[in-house]
């Protein structure tokens, strides 16, 4: 049976999220059957070392006993109430404990929902319409965010997908990531018309590209000066790069934060929140409407809470970071030995690599200009060797607590062999 052909008969594109289709690397997607720890088991009988981790949530590894126990116990009480439950409060309290800047928050069901809601809240709270986003930062597929840059630094955006009204795009300004001059120009020209700035402080959807601390601090200063709301999209980096997220790594507090992935522990859950003054504008306390039938779903709350409790232990992030650094150093060493140019990044349990002559990658155009064809060959070579990487040169990778020396050494050994043929 060809599982992809079967899926395409009933599922649009054969997948329920585009990157899964292998369009960026060629070939057909791998269909998974089960997973345990750091390993995936496919429908065709292969075992693969997993560096996607369901795109980030599985920081403890697949089927962690505490998470599975929490889910099965909670599911026996009900899959959903559509009414408040204590697990929601426990989850909110735990998130606030780990990220004190999130004074109040609202649970939702996806990262897209979190960022969409945060932007609506920022617009409603400030009474302004314009927003600033950055090229290469992905914040979900809501209309306001599927906007590409115009022809100049201060040109308002244009839709990057059919179905996005041009009138809506007029309110979105797309700038180059880590470009302080462009941001200052935008604020000097538009200033108090800007409702919010949204960005990934460490971008994970143009591979892994860290924000420069000077750039992020400048954003904080400009937003404070003009009354603009600074939103850190930590759907990917929240509890992944550090216990307090990227904002703890940089020591810069946003006004609002969006979270996802790890807060659901593998279940559909996300959150947005921040300063209590801003969050008071959300209904029912304020006029900005937001709602969700499955928001705060008890099973998702149980999975997320069990995950957060198990990462909040002494030494967890030191160990995770050391494992990830061991992997990244091994990949870089394999590339160097094969005279293959490669730039690497790592923070906590998140990593990235780009086939480029640049020592460091800090902008989207650097990733777009890298050797994508070489990545495709590397991806398939590693897959044949039993290593599952993101099937796109524009995605970050993830290490879990379940990855051990054996998995990392096997990965690096495979990389050395594959690099020889690049």
Q: At what angle do helices 316-337 and 298-311 cross, to 10 degrees?
A: 80
Q: Going along 103-203, which residue ranges are E strands?
A: 104-108, 130-135, 147-148, 158-159, 172-176, 194-199, 202-203
Regions in the chain scoring below 50 on pLDDT = 150-155
> Does the CA dihedral 279-285-287-292 come out positive or negative?
positive
Instruction: Say which residues have a Cβ less than 8 Å from residue 137's Cβ, sequence separation at least 6.
Output: 177, 198, 199, 200, 203, 205, 206, 233
Residue recorded with tokens 């061991």: 326
* DSSP 8-state assignment for residue 86: H
For residue 154, the model assigns a pLDDT of 41
SS3 content of the chain, % helix, strand, coil (to 5): 40, 20, 40
| Mode of pairing for the β-strands spanning 256-259 and 270-274 | antiparallel
**Coil, strand or helix: which one is 333?**
helix
What confidence score (pLDDT) does residue 93 get? Answer: 98
- Residue 157: the pLDDT is 59
pLDDT at 153: 42
Q: What is the DSSP string of 344-392?
A: EEEETTEEEEE-SS-S---SHHHHHTS-HHHHHHHHHHHHHTTEE--SS
153 phi/psi in degrees, rounded to 5:
-60, -35
Q: Is the pTM of this model over 0.75?
A: yes
Question: Which strands, in side-by-side order, build the sheet including 229-234?
Answer: 104-108, 270-274, 256-259, 229-234, 194-199, 130-135, 172-176
Instruction: Answer for the pair 304, 107: CB distance below 8 angstroms, yes or no.
Output: no
What is the third-level CATH fold of 3-63+314-419?
Answer: 3.90.1150
pLDDT at 151: 41
Contact by Cβ (8 Å): 57, 261: yes
Active site residue 332: no
Q: Does this chain's domain 3-63+314-419 share its CATH topology with 65-311?
A: no
- Position 158 scores a pLDDT of 65
Q: With beta carbons less than 8 A apart as the criterion, state whether 405 and 330 touch.
A: no
Question: How buried is 68 (Cβ within 10 angstroms: 0-12 exposed, 13-18 middle, 19+ buried)?
Answer: middle
**Nearest-10 Cα torsion for 215, 221, 223, 225:** -150
Q: Is 124 helix (H, G, I), strand (E, B) or coil?
A: helix
Residue pair 262/239 in contact by the 8 Å Cβ criterion: yes
**3-class DSSP state for residue 51?**
coil
pLDDT at 155: 47
Q: Are strands 130-135 and 194-199 parallel, antiparallel or unpaired?
A: parallel
CATH class of 65-311: alpha beta
Residue 298's pLDDT is what?
97
Given the residues 50, 94, 133, 138, the one annotated as active site:
138
Asked if 394 and 369 touch (Cβ cutoff 8 Å), the reply is no
H/E stretch holding 245: helix 245-250
Of 130, 133, 261, 332, the catalytic one is 261
Alpha-carbon distance of 216 to 382, in angstroms, equals: 35
In DSSP terms, 242 is beta-bridged to 238
Is residue 138 annotated as a catalytic residue, yes or no?
Answer: yes
- DSSP per residue over 271-328, as a string? EEEE-HHHHTTBTTTSSB----TTTT-HHHHHHHHHHHHHHSSTTHHHHHHHHHHHHH
Residue 138 to residue 200: CA distance in whole angstroms: 8
The residues spanned by each domain of the chain are 3-63+314-419, 65-311
Q: What is the pLDDT, as a whole number, of residue 149?
A: 55
Exactly one of 233, 243, 323, 371 is catalytic; name it.
Answer: 233
What CA–CA distance (Å, rounded) separates 402 from 320?
9
What is the C-alpha to C-alpha distance for residues 255 and 222, in angstroms, rounded to an integer? 13
Tokens representing 229 are 């709301």
pLDDT at 29: 94
**Are 308 and 263 in contact, with CB atoms under 8 Å apart?**
yes
- Provide the pLDDT for residue 152: 44
Residue count of the chain, please give it.
422
């Amino acid at each position: 049976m060809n599982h992809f052909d079967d899926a395409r008969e009933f599922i649009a594109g054969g997948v329920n999220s585009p990157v899964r289709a292998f369009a960026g690397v060629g070939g057909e997607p791998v269909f998974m059957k089960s997973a345990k720890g750091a390993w995936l088991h496919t429908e065709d009988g292969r075992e693969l070392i997993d560096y996607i981790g369901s795109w980030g949530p599985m920081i403890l590894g697949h089927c962690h006993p505490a998470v599975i126990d929490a889910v099965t116990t909670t599911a026996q009480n009900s899959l959903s109430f559509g009414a408040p439950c204590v697990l929601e409060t426990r989850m909110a309290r735990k998130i606030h404990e780990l990220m004190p800047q999130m004074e109040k928050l609202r649970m939702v069901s996806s990262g897209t929902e979190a960022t969409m809601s945060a932007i609506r809240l920022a617009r409603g709270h400030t009474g302004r319409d314009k927003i600033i986003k950055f090229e290469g930062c992905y914040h979900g597929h809501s209309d306001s965010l599927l906007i590409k840059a115009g022809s100049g630094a201060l040109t308002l955006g244009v839709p990057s997908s059919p179905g996005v009204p041009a009138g809506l795009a007029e309110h979105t300004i797309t700038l180059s990531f880590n470009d302080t001059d462009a941001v200052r120009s935008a604020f000097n020209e538009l200033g108090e018309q800007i409702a919010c700035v949204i960005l990934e402080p460490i971008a994970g959807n143009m591979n892994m590209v860290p924000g420069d601390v000077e750039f992020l601090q400048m954003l904080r200063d400009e937003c404070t000066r003009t009354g603009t709301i600074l939103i850190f999209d930590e759907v990917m980096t929240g509890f992944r790069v550090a216990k307090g997220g990227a904002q703890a790594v940089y020591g810069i507090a946003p006004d609002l934060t969006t979270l996802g992935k790890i807060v659901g522990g593998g279940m559909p859950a996300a959150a947005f929140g921040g300063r209590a003054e801003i969050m008071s504008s959300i209904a029912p306390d304020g006029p900005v409407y937001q709602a969700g039938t499955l928001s705060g779903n008890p099973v998702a709350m149980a999975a997320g809470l069990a995950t957060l409790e198990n990462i909040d232990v002494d030494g967890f992030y030191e160990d995770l970071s050391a494992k990830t650094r061991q992997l990244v150093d091994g990949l870089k060493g394999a590339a160097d030995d094969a005279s293959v140019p490669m730039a690497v990044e790592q923070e906590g349990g998140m990593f990235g690599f780009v086939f480029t002559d640049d020592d460091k990658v800090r902008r989207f155009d650097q990733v777009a200009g890298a050797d994508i064809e070489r990545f495709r060959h590397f991806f398939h070579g590693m897959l044949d060797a039993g290593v599952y990487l993101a099937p796109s040169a524009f995605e970050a990778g993830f290490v879990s607590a379940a990855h051990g020396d054996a998995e990392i050494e096997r990965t690096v050994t495979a990389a050395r062999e594959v690099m020889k043929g690049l």
